[in-house]
Structure 1
Amino acid sequence: MMKQARFLDWYLKIGIGSAIVGGGMEFFMINTDDKVTVLEAEKRAYENSPEAQAVREALNPWRNKDAEATKTPP
């Protein structure tokens, strides 16, 4: 009986500690949500811009040639 009480106390301490850590993480995520939303919107706007398209073309100039080669029969 005494051993079970010791383990129950240990599990209770772990549970409380985990709840505190989890609550802190949630608090951090809630406070940074606006910043992350703005950064993601800026990233999406850049990805759809002509500059980003030019960078993609410059990094992989064969992308369209491969697609055309599969469309036209030899």
Structure 2
Amino acid sequence: MRFLGWYLKIAAGGAAIGAAMELFMIHTGFYEKVTVLESEKRAWETSPEAQAMREALNPWRKHDDQEKR
């Protein structure tokens, strides 16, 4: 283990950088914003408008299902 000291320094530096990034995201309210955006996205995906859009973008979907049967 010739370079053990270097590996330990790199690991400690990486952990410090990761901790700083997490603290920044917590401090700026990143997780709260992401939670709101994800809930809005899921609400949109289950809406009738989104389902109609999916149907319109893939007109062969029902045709493919019938061929499989």
Q: With structure 2 as the length reference, what TM-score do the two structures score?
A: 0.71
Distance 1:28 1:68, change over 3 A: farther
Cα offset, 1:26, TM superposition: 1.4
Structure 2 unmatched ranges of 5 or more = none
Structure 1 runs of 4+ off > 6 angstroms? none
Aligned positions, number? 66
Give the root-mean-square deviation of aligned CA atoms. 2.4
State how far apart, in whole Å, the 2-side matches of 1:67 and 1:33 are. 40
Name whichever of 38-47 and 10-19 sits farther off: 10-19
Return the index of the structure with the highest Cα Rg: 1
Structure 1, unpaired ranges of 5+: none
The one-letter code of the counterpart of 2:59 is P
